[in-house]
Amino acid sequence: MKIIKTFHIQTKRTSYILAVTESLHICCLHYGRKLREMADYSVLFEKHDVCYGSMVAYSKEDANFGLDDVCLEYSSCGKGDFREPAIELESHDGTGVTDFKYKGFRTFPGKEPIPGLPSSYDGSGDCTSYVLELSDNCLNISVFLHYCAFYDSDVITKHVEIKNDSNHAISLKRAMSMQLDLPENDYYFVTFDGTWSAERYRNDKRLSPGIFVNDSKTGVSSSRHNPFVMLRRKNCDEQSGECCGFNLIYSANHAEIVEVTHSGKTRILSGINPFGFKYELNNNQSFFTPETVMTFSSEGLNGLSRNMHEFINNNIVRGKWKNKARPILVNNWEGTWFDFDEKKLLDIAKTASELGIELFVLDDGWFGERNSDDRSLGDWVVNRKKLPHALSGLAEKIKKLGMDFGIWVEPEMVNENSELYRSHPEWAIKLPDREPSLGRNQLILDLTQKDVRRYIVDSMSEVFSSADIAYVKWDMNRNFSDIYSPSLPPHRQGEFNHRYVLGLYEILETLTSSFPDILFESCASGGNRFDLGMLCYMPQTWTSDNTDPVSRLAIQNGTSYGYPLSCMGAHVSASPHQQTLRSTPIETRFNVAAFGCLGYEMDMTKLSPFDKNCIKAQVEFYKRHRMLFQYGTFYRVTIPYNSNWCVWCVVSKDKKEAAAGFFQINAVPSHTHDLLRLCGLSDDLFYDIEGRKQFINVKAFGDLVNHVLPVKIRGDGVIHTMISARYMFSQTDERFSAYGDAINHSGIRLKQQFGGTGYNESLRVIGDFGSRMYYLKAEEDDED
Ligand code: DGJ
């Protein structure tokens, strides 16, 4: 078997080389580091001079060629490739054999949108599209493989159009967005798994022959298994080695399937989960898959993340908030739950404004009879007992305090105890003859129904224009059950999940275009729908309901592999923490949340003077360096898994400034020296490094307080408590200067930690869950 045509898709640092065989199958010759252009690529094509053992020979003309051992580009069923297929369908006669062969090709600059689905776009004028047309001539069905190469970010996206040109309806049972066949299997399959309050924990699975599935069956992209996955080589770590990353621009059930075969090849598929999926395609109709994003890096996992982050900031997030500084917010949820009135909210807002916070967000509980989570979802009318001056009155008063006003909504949901459900029970998702199961006491509205979509758009448009609203938190608090829609005939019920999300996208498209100035943040019980589909409409996502900084190190670290800091909502909340009951220093809560879009979520009226002073300084610091924290290049230096320490840093594009967070889980007595070795700085620039001015609550010292205070008091007594609320005991000053090469390749030796013996002013007091933030600035060259 020979190849008769090749395509070399290129980005700045990667090559993706495809070939057409004499049998007209498309195969993949290379995906990885950039290769030079060659006159003849056949050296990269496997030899097929024998069909081993039980292999099926594709055709009589070439009895030595079987599809089962070829790196194919989009596999179908029934012609000898026994691996997981990319497409599976049932034709009108009930058969499922398909064979798609190369027919033609076109290329053009830029990127076309995908009908009905969110997708990437040409944000920086650096992308080129390629479309390969395949066809099954027996069935009269075409498959168009769409590719788009984003040059600067080293991202290539893929999606597929399946067109039924026959005179019969067909049923799609599987229609993946992407297949990539790699010739080797020396990989770890890295997934980001979890649950509520513990989202996107990193898991590395060593590949061996078999099938590995990462998917969601919950109806949303889910906190169980995020659609972002990676394949990394055995020797690939944060700073070096080869790896590929894949993500799907989709918010419903997804699947990433990896198969390693007997012959050592690896196939990865990504797309809509075939579980529960069946889609009827009539004559002349097309089905469009969501778009998969893939990237390759030979600079370790940090290189891969950099590619994904650049791509998301430039080619996924759109509208007014693209690459714009995101406001520091205060959210009342953990401070008040449902128990608030206008006065309480204004008291919180007043303190927040005094501390420099820019946006006040009113969370759940402002509408209908919503005093608990079992009622009123769907009734988007202000509760006048709580807010006698309506949203507009509250917003005006917030504005007068010098802050913007934002609001929480959960438009996809309904409680049985609501006016909406009483008048439209048929709008909720449930089966006609089965009692529906509830999640957080609520049902989901059936977005496949046009009237439901219209109701959501109308009611939300009314809310959003009823006051001066600068920000909207769009929540979604349950997974799907009892799936059925009266809008679909029995043989189309398998389309429900996909049609639901198309309905959601239609609503989001309408609302975000009608309210272009609003900053939208998506949320789903924390991070249960943290995906690229939502990010196409909403530039931020609430990362997790768990704001405990120790948990957040793992959650934000895991999230950062695939998503930029500008997309991650990160809040400082009260201590002890409401989910973990862990007590942590307020400075650590900030130092973690600063690596994201900063907010505060607590009853600010209850803050001690100490906490207020800390927050004021934190807000000032974050404002000064906000673009660095939200849009700088992020590096995981020491990751928080199986380690007592975690170090992150973020470096500006011009490398002239950086910030580093040093986090410690447990205090270690007689601790030796900490070394701050960073990455991404310019070797040739000379940096001044300064520890952020941080404060320590003297309560942390217990009886030892007498060693650090000028007066003698009883540890943990009344006076100690009073002093701790006010006395701003400062962390030791740390200042260093060094060239980037010393910091990148050797490391700054930090001041020693207090470790049980003696205390003096040169020691850092870090303790359990302690941390320090360092700011680095390159000295200006005199000749500049
Ligand atoms: C779940 C969200 O994750 C929380 O932040 C909060 O908005 C609640 N819903 C409100 O019901």
For range 581-606, the mean pLDDT: 98
Q: What is the pLDDT of residues 118-127, one digit of tens each?
A: 999 999 899 9
355 Cβ below 6 A of ligand 1: no
Over residues 255-295, the pLDDT tens digits come to 999 999 988 999 999 999 999 999 999 999 999 999 999 99
Please report the pLDDT score of residue 714 as a whole number: 85
Encode pLDDT of 32-74 as tens digits: 999 999 999 999 999 998 988 899 999 998 899 999 999 999 9
Q: What is the distance, to the nearest Å, from the Cα of residue 452 to the centroid of all Cα atoms in its chain?
A: 28
Q: Are 290 and 120 in contact (CB under 8 A)?
A: no
Q: How far is CA 573 from CA 203, 365, 380, 420, in A?
A: 28, 19, 28, 34
Identify the residue whose C-alpha is closest to ligand 1 atom 9.
525
Residues annotated as part of the active site: 475, 545
Sign, Cα dihedral of 264, 268, 274, 275:
positive
Bridge partners (DSSP) listed for residue 729: 696
**Per-residue pLDDT at 782:** 61
Q: How far is the CA of 337 from the centre of ligand 1 (A)?
A: 9
Neighbours of 517 (CB within 10 A): 10
Task: Annotate 224-268 with DSSP letters as a single string.
Answer: SB-S-EEEEETT--SSSB-EEEEEES-SS-EEEEEEE-TTS-EEE
Query: Across-strand partners of 445?
Result: 428
pLDDT at 67: 96
Determine the residue of 473, 540, 542 to mutate for testing ligand 1's pocket, defined as the one with the most ligand atoms within 8 A of the Cβ atom.
Answer: 542
Q: Is the preceding peptide bond at 576 cis, omega within 30 degrees of 0?
A: yes
DSSP 53-116: TTPPPS-STTTT--GGGS-BSS--SSSS--S--SEEEE-TTS------EEEEEEEEES-PPBTT
Distance from the CA of 476 to the center of ligand 1, in angstroms? 8
- Confidence label for 141 from pLDDT (cuts 50, 70 and 90): very high
Task: Work out the pLDDT band at 757, boundaries 50, 70, 90.
Answer: confident
Considering the entire predicted model, what is its pTM?
Answer: 0.97
**What is the average pLDDT score of the chain?**
96
DSSP run (H or E) holding 191: strand 187-195
Q: pLDDT for 76-119, tens place per residue?
A: 999 999 999 999 999 999 999 999 999 999 999 999 999 999 99
Q: Does 200 have pLDDT greater than 60?
A: yes
Cα 155 to middle of ligand 1, angstroms = 34
Q: Which of 409, 545, 555, 573 to mutate to test the pocket of ligand 1 (most atoms within 8 A of CB)?
A: 545
**What is the predicted pLDDT for the residue at 538?**
98
Ligand 1 pocket mutation, candidates 197, 333, 407, criterion most atoms within 8 A of CB: 333
pLDDT at 704 over 90: no
Q: Give 611 Cα–ligand 1 centroid separation in angstroms.
A: 24
774 lines ligand 1 (CB under 6 A): no
- Answer whether residue 708 shows pLDDT above 80: no
- The closest alpha carbon to 84, from 248, 231, 257, 281, belongs to 257
- Give the number of other Cβ atoms within 10 Å of residue 197's Cβ: 18
Burial of residue 496, with CB atoms counted within 10 A of its CB: 0-12 exposed, 13-18 middle, 19 or more buried: buried
Q: pLDDT at residue 702 above 90?
A: no
The arithmetic mean of pLDDT across residues 539-549, rounded, is 98
What pLDDT does residue 317 have?
Answer: 98
Kindly state if the Cβ of 542 falls inside 6 Å of ligand 1.
yes
In this prediction, residue 783 carries a pLDDT of 53
Contact 249, 221 (CB under 8 A): no
Collapsing DSSP states into helix, strand and coil, what is residue 695?
strand
Using the mean position of ligand 1's atoms as its centre, give its distance from the Cα of residue 567 in Å.
17
Which atom of ligand 1 is the closest one to the Cα of 525?
Answer: 3
> How far is residue 556's CA from residue 723's CA, in Å, rounded to a whole number?
34
Per-residue pLDDT tens for 370-397?
Answer: 999 999 999 999 999 999 999 999 999 9
**Mean pLDDT of the region 390-408:** 98
Among protein residues, the one whose CA lies closest to atom 10 of ligand 1? 364
Range from 124-128, 155-159, 428-432, 604-608 carrying the lowest mean pLDDT: 124-128
Closest-CA residue to 542 (of 649, 665, 406, 635): 406
Atom number in ligand 1 closest to CA 373: 11
Helix H or strand E segment including 301: helix 300-311
- 714-741 pLDDT per residue, tens: 888 899 889 999 999 999 999 999 999 9
